[in-house]
């Protein structure tokens, strides 16, 4: 038998908290490398642009903006744990 029941009880209490604690699960999460690329800069129209040149430059700027926005949204979702 134990000489000191208090000491035995204290030791038992020290051991109990470790029993019910689940161990953490380590997960290696890395974003897709394409999400970390910088945004593309739009092409400038030539010095003396035609209407077509201006329209093509505008379409290029919009396309690059939308691609950058999509990457930003995907990276934000990854950081928040959505991916």
Residue pair 62/39 in contact (Cβ under 8 Å)? The answer is no
pLDDT mean over 7-29:
68
For residue range 27-82, list pLDDT tens digits in order: 677 888 889 999 999 999 999 999 999 999 999 999 999 999 999 999 999 888 86
Rounded Cα distance between 68 and 16, Å, is 52
For position 18, what pLDDT does the model report? 56
User: How many CA atoms lie less than 13 Å away from 30 in the CB half-sphere?
Assistant: 4
Q: What is the pTM of this model?
A: 0.61
Give the residue with greater pLDDT, 24 vs 14.
24
Domain range annotation of the chain = 33-83
| Dihedral pair phi/psi, residue 34, rounded to 5° | -65, -20
Segment 10-28 shows an average pLDDT of 67
């Amino acid at each position: 038998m134990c000489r000191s029941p208090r000491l035995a009880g204290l030791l038992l209490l020290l051991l109990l908290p470790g029993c019910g604690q689940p161990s953490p699960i380590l997960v290696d999460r890395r974003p897709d490398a394409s999400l970390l690329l910088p945004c593309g800069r739009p092409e400038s129209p030539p010095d003396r642009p035609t209407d077509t040149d201006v329209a093509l430059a505008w379409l290029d700027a919009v396309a690059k903006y939308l691609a950058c926005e999509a990457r930003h949204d995907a990276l934000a979702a990854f950081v928040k744990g959505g991916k």
